[in-house]
Amino acid sequence: MKKCLFTLALLQCLCLFSVAQQVMMQGWYWDYPKTAAGFSWADTLRLKAANLKQSGITHVWFPPHAVASFGAGSNGYDPKDLFIGNQTTGLGTRPNLNAMLAEFTSQGIAPVADVIYNHRDGGSVETNPAVKDYINNHYNASKEPFPSDRYRVILPIGGSTGNGAGSYYFKFSSKSGDSRFNNYQFK
């Protein structure tokens, strides 16, 4: 009798733990149908949201959704621009992505993005005023590099600037004076 009660209590405890589990599903595979081939993987995932919820899925990890340098046929690991705008990615368009996220959320499924922030493959030079503001106004940590390895400096040349053709040198120094980040010269 004791063994039976112990087994029953153990089984009940295990059932409680199984209910509390979260399950994340990888929502793509390497050769998933891309937008360039006439498909929208974001729509495919959106249409499966209710079934995924019924199956116990609590999170769906979807592929990189950035604009890729190899276009809408890319898996997204060659991000050209992290902002989609009105462009098409391998996952779909911005409206496709928004609809997928809304459906996941309505089903109680948490979407998980695969984002590669420090990868860039092409794209246009972009000014980042947040990094400049941080460097100029908020940075005060000792001997730590800035939170970005991109800092754009624009040197006006010609016209009324007084800067003519020639060689210009930029000398970058760390605010902390640390030798790892001090006295680098770029031409």
* Domain of residue 69, CATH code: 3.30.750.90
Asked whether 89 and 70 are in contact (CB, 8 A), the reply is no
Output the pLDDT for position 160.
82
Identify the domain boundary among 70, 86, 113.
Answer: 113
Q: Which domain holds residue 139?
A: 129-186
- CB count within 10 Å of CB 91 equals 31
pTM value? 0.59
Output the pLDDT for position 124.
67
d(CA 187, CA 182): 16
Within 30-141, strands assigned E span 59-62, 67-68, 79-81, 110-113
Identify the domain boundary among 82, 113, 144.
Answer: 113
pLDDT tens readout for residues 55-72: 999 999 998 888 887 877
Q: Same structural domain for residues 182 and 107?
A: no
pLDDT tens readout for residues 11-25: 676 666 555 689 999
d(CA 133, CA 163): 26
Residue 82 lies inside a defined structural domain of this protein? yes
Output the pLDDT for position 142.
58
State CA 47 to chain mean position distance.
23
Output the pLDDT for position 139.
64
Q: Is the per-residue pLDDT at 53 higher than 90? A: yes
Q: Same structural domain for residues 101 and 133?
A: no
Output the pLDDT for position 184.
54
Q: Is the per-residue pLDDT at 128 higher than 50? A: yes
Long-range contacts from 126-130, C-beta under 8 angstroms, 24+ separation = 126/152, 127/152, 127/154, 128/152
pLDDT tens readout for residues 140-168: 665 555 555 556 667 777 778 888 777 77
Q: Same structural domain for residues 71 and 97?
A: yes
Q: What is the mean pLDDT of residues 99-116?
A: 93
Q: Same structural domain for residues 104 and 39?
A: yes
Q: Same structural domain for residues 104 and 134?
A: no
pLDDT tens readout for residues 68-102: 878 778 888 888 777 777 888 888 999 999 999 99
Output the pLDDT for position 60.
96
- Check residue 109 and report its DSSP letter: P
Q: What is the rounded average pLDDT for all residues in the chain?
A: 77
Identify the domain boundary among 113, 142, 174.
Answer: 113
Using 50, 70 and 90 to split pLDDT, how confident is the model at 187? very low
Q: What is the number of domains present in the chain?
A: 2
